[in-house]
Amino acid sequence: MTIFKQGSGQVQLSEAQVRERVQVLGREIAAAYEGKPLHLICVLNGAFLFMADLVRAIDLPLTLDFMAVSSYGSRTATSGEVRLTKDLDQSLKGKHVILVEDIVDTGLTMNYLLGYLKGRGPLSVGVATLLSKPSRRQVEVPINFMGFEIDDAFVYGYGLDVDHRYRNLPFVTSQEA
């Protein structure tokens, strides 16, 4: 049996910390959207664990969908170019949309996605992100529901990867440079 250990870097969020914060976010979203047609969109691949836990923490009827974009490839830094690789399957008309993301870093991807989704006719578009790195922001974007604000470090675990590995870690960690 392999035991995963957290790294020694500057960002260390335990499984318990992540679980507790996701529960709080679920309650906040439920309070904000009570009685409204709520639709969550998961940005694949990194947000899939966060999305799964978040929807279970929202005590409201809701629908969901998935989309995928690419701006990193196998690198650890964004290319700055956003490419849509999987589009939505459902209409957004008449729905309050929350875009669920793993991390908002430069803001370039989120800015692209917000513009794209607003053009699809939803009643509103909000953002829920597990992590935010404001020190790297190149484009300011609204974040309505945030798990944790972190320092500028390359992080992985809980859906975030290193060249497609380590997504299954139940915590978020970083390594010293």
- pLDDT < 70 stretches in the chain: 1-5, 72-80, 176-177
105-137 pLDDT per residue, tens: 999 999 999 999 999 999 999 999 999 999 999
- pLDDT given at position 177: 54
CA distance 62 to 65: 10
pTM of the model: 0.90
The set of residues, in sequence order, having a beta carbon less than 8 Å from that of 47 and lying 6+ positions away, is 100, 101, 102, 130, 159
- pLDDT given at position 124: 98
Domains and CATH numbers, the chain: 15-70+89-170 (3.40.50.2020)
- pLDDT given at position 81: 77
The answer to whether 102 is a known catalytic residue is no
Asked if 175 and 8 touch (Cβ cutoff 8 Å), the reply is yes
Decide the pairing of beta strands 12-13 and 172-174. antiparallel
- pLDDT given at position 76: 53
124 is written with which tokens?
């509103």
Out of 53, 87, 105, 161, which one is annotated catalytic? 105
